[in-house]
Structure 1
Amino acid sequence: MTSSSTTPGALARFNALEERAAHAALLEVCASAAWVRGLLARRPYATPDALFTASDAAMAELSVADLAEAMAGHPPIGRPRPGDPTSSREQRGMAGASEKLRAEMLELNLAYQEKFGHVFLICATGRTGEQMRDALEERLGNAPEREYEIVRVELTAINRIRLGRLLEEEEA
């Protein structure tokens, strides 16, 4: 998500949000309290790109425990939370998946959670069910340290998309 999809007014409204409202809005983007605090501490933002850069920096500073907190805010791929338009939109690639693919994803998700102790996290936006399955199969072979770094990259991408949507919603 780039700054071209937002207007200066949207960012100004975000910057002007009362602290509690800004906290709640950012917590919808990422469930890590440390990430939210990092972004709140850097307000106001001069440009959307400055907000995205601050998000990336806050994500890079997260501990393993902070990453676990962030991941806890994400449902498993193929099982978006009922009534949650964000996870449904982001996992759209699984919407028309065959029963076979859904069963494969369930089995792989369970194997991943057993190995790593957390949900498989991938920036699902724009990916097909097959692409997500293939990534899950490949990542099952990773060492935990490697997997945490991949999760950090995936969360960074997800947060950028969600921040862009937050600014779009502020504009609407």
Structure 2
Amino acid sequence: MTSSTTSGGLARFNALEEHAAYAALHELCASAAWAHRLLARRPYTATDELFTESDAATAGLTDTDLDEAMAGHPPIGRPKPGDPTSSREQRGMAGASEELRAEMLELNLAYQEKFGHVFLICATGRTGEQMRDAVRERIGNAPAREREIVRTELGKINRIRLARLVEEDAPA
């Protein structure tokens, strides 16, 4: 959603009590700094304004904040049990062959050993093969380069999740 006016969902988000708004944001992104920055700028007059603030907050995360955000994401191919968000986002792995699942597990472990954190990619709309190819490609990156890619991917994920949060028919 890229609206220049306040949607019903955005109005509901703006009206939430602080603790409820924080809980909703923290569920979207595990970085407390990101959630607090978005809370501090409420109320938002447009969805685009919320997205812009999210992008700025993501860009401003310290290494510790980025680690905290990544810790909230399950490995590709292993969505959190009972979490419809990670299951929906990783839908591309749902029909993956056992061979592809085994390869992703191996690649995830090698990636995590090299970089010290989960492989983070905006998985929405990607096939299992596309995610596998991405981890294969990115595992060769220098740590500083990979961190910037992770930040970019986190920004994409946060935008998708925020859009769902402020959809017109989203529950309060």
**Alignment TM-score, normalising by the size of structure 2:** 0.95
CA distance in 2, matches of 1:36, 1:15: 13
Q: Cα gap change, 1:46/1:169 in structure 2, threshold over 3 Å: closer, same or farther?
A: closer
Percent of aligned positions that are identical:
78
Q: What is the Cα deviation at residue 171 of structure 1? A: 3.6
Amino acid corresponding to residue 163 of structure 1 in structure 2: L
Q: What is the Cα deviation at residue 3 of structure 1? A: 2.4
CA distance in 1, matches of 2:27, 2:169: 14
Instruction: State the partner residue of 2:93.
Output: 94
CA distance in 2, matches of 1:110, 1:91: 17
Instruction: State the partner residue of 1:131.
Output: 130
Instruction: State the partner residue of 2:63.
Output: 64
Amino acid corresponding to residue 99 of structure 1 in structure 2: E
Q: What is the Cα deviation at residue 168 of structure 1? A: 2.0
Instruction: State the partner residue of 1:50.
Output: 49
Instruction: State the partner residue of 1:80.
Output: 79
Q: What is the Cα deviation at residue 170 of structure 1? A: 5.9
CA distance in 1, matches of 2:11, 2:65: 28
For structure 1, the residue ranges without an aligned partner over 5 or more in a row are none
Please list the CA deviations of residues 134-172 of structure 1 after superposition, one character each: whole Å capped at 9, or x if unmatched.
000000000110011000000000000000111127644
Q: Secondary structure of 2:80's partner?
A: coil
Please list the CA deviations of residues 68-127 of structure 1 after superposition, one character each: whole Å capped at 9, or x if unmatched.
000000000000011110000000000000011001000000000000000000000000
Is this contact kept in 2: 1:29–1:159, CA < 8 A? yes
Instruction: State the partner residue of 2:151.
Output: 152
Q: Tell me which protein shows more helix as a share of its residues.
A: 1
Please list the CA deviations of residues 15-70 of structure 1 after superposition, one character each: whole Å capped at 9, or x if unmatched.
01000000000001100000001100111101000000000000010011110000
Q: Cα gap change, 1:51/1:165 in structure 2, threshold over 3 Å: closer, same or farther?
A: same
CA distance in 2, matches of 1:45, 1:7: 8
Is this contact kept in 2: 1:14–1:170, CA < 8 A? no
Q: Cα gap change, 1:83/1:169 in structure 2, threshold over 3 Å: closer, same or farther?
A: farther
Runs of 4+ in 1 over 4 A off after TM superposition: none
**Equivalent pairs, count:** 170
For structure 2, the residue ranges without an aligned partner over 5 or more in a row are none
Amino acid corresponding to residue 74 of structure 1 in structure 2: H
Is this contact kept in 1: 2:7–2:168, CA < 8 A? no
CA distance in 1, matches of 2:67, 2:32: 11
Q: Cα gap change, 1:110/1:136 in structure 2, threshold over 3 Å: closer, same or farther?
A: same
CA distance in 2, matches of 1:64, 1:140: 19
